[in-house]
Amino acid sequence: MLGIRRISTSRWWHRKKNWLFFAIFLFLVFVRISKGAFYKDFYYFISKPFWPGQFQKEIVLESIAQEYLIKLNLLKKDNIRLRQILSLQESFNDEHISAAVISRKTGSWWRQIILNKGSKDGVEIGNIVIGPGGLLGRVKNTSLFTSSVTLITSPDSKLGVWVDRIQINGLLVGLGDDYPSLILYSKDADIKVGDFVSSSPASTLLPPNIPIGIIQSIDETLTSKKTAKISLLAKPYVIDWVQILKVGI
């Protein structure tokens, strides 16, 4: 009797085991056919309590807003720069050559920029170079395809300039830094911080009234003359497009 019961129990277990394997097989077939969709849905429900809350959502939205703001500011700056270049091209459309800055040395003693236009484009030694804002320098030498420009911040540069408010001529001398020096050979010259400096109408080397800069600071310690630091309107270290005027300095 005991033997019959053991045989019956063993058969029941084998039948259950077979059904278990069959159920696992069906489950695997289902996963295969659904391509893991069941697992994804299952993960969706079990991970839902751990999703980022409102605080994390606000941080993400704030980051997105900051990104859009930065992009908007960059677009505004590009728009302003392109408008300046367009205005510059229109102002000197008859006697100018547009050129791109392909190299610059604005952080060393010998300050210069290299342009992508040379003698084949009509560029000549002594031509004036201006950028958005005003005067940059003059062409020092040329090759067939490029030209080197000595900036007005270079110690090699000496230009006659004009202080419009007090109607007086002066000499602008590069010092190797970002602020050339204005020299007035009159101790009594009534210059002030903020006075506008341009090319001199009396100059035979420069066209008159080319903007140059604004007086930033004044040194009155010298007895025979008065000097001042000039903040340039055209910034050589950020300008990437210039105009070459067909006039020698």
Which region, left, alpha or beta, applies to residue 134 given φ > 0 means left and ψ of -120 to 50 means alpha? left
Q: What is the rounded average pLDDT of the residues 157-183?
A: 91
Burial tier of 28 (Cβ tally within 10 Å: 0-12, 13-18, 19+): exposed
Q: Please state which of the ranges 44-58, 124-138, 139-153 shows the lowest mean pLDDT.
A: 44-58
Average per-residue pLDDT in the chain?
Answer: 76
Residues in the chain: 249
* Measured distance CA(125)–CA(140) in Å, rounded: 5
Categorize the per-residue pLDDT at 42 as very low, low, confident or very high, splitting at 50, 70 and 90.
Answer: low
pLDDT, position 55: 47
Quote the tokens at residue 38: 């069941």
| 8 A C-beta contact, residue 236 and residue 104 | yes
Of the ranges 34-38, 60-64, 224-228, the best mean pLDDT one? 224-228
The answer, yes or no, to whether residue 150 has pLDDT greater than 90, is: yes
* Measured distance CA(160)–CA(169) in Å, rounded: 7
Helix/strand/coil percentages in the chain, nearest 5: 35, 30, 35
pLDDT, position 74: 62
* Measured distance CA(236)–CA(238) in Å, rounded: 6
Quote the tokens at residue 73: 């500011």
| 8 A C-beta contact, residue 129 and residue 140 | no
Quote the tokens at residue 66: 């900051």
Categorize the per-residue pLDDT at 83 as very low, low, confident or very high, splitting at 50, 70 and 90.
Answer: low
Element (H, E) at 229: strand 226-232
Q: What is the rounded average pLDDT of the residues 192-202?
A: 88
* Measured distance CA(210)–CA(136) in Å, rounded: 10
* Measured distance CA(247)–CA(138) in Å, rounded: 10
pLDDT, position 140: 92
Paired residues of 211 in beta bridges: 198
